[in-house]
Amino acid sequence: MGDLPTFRLYKMDELVKNIKELLDPDIHLMDVQENHQRDLVRVVVDSENPITIDTITDITRTIRDSEVIDKYFPNGYKMEVSSAGIDANLEQPFQFRKNIGRQLKLKLSIDDSFQSITAVLKDVDEKGIFIQSNKEISHINYADIKQAKIIVSFS
47 and 11, same structural domain?
yes
Q: From residue 83, how far is each of 15, 39, 80, 144 by CA, in Å?
A: 18, 21, 10, 25
- Integer distance in angstroms from the first to the last C-alpha of the chain? 52
Q: Is residue 88 a part of any domain in this protein?
A: no
- The domain boundary, picked from 25, 52, 83, lies at 83
Task: Tell me which amino acid residue 30 is.
Answer: M
The backbone torsions φ and ψ at residue 117, rounded to the nearest 5 degrees and listed phi first, read: -140, 155
Helix-, strand-, coil-residue percentages of the chain, each rounded to 5: 30, 40, 30
Q: Is residue 25 a part of any domain in this protein?
A: yes
- The domain boundary, picked from 83, 114, 131, lies at 83
Which residue range(s) make up the domain with 74? 4-83
Torsion from C-alpha of 143, 137, 30, 14, nearest 10 degrees: -30
One digit per residue, pLDDT tens: the chain, 155 residues? 344 444 555 688 899 999 999 999 999 999 999 888 888 999 999 999 989 999 999 999 999 999 999 988 888 999 999 999 888 999 999 999 999 999 999 999 988 889 999 999 999 999 999 999 989 999 999 999 999 999 988 76
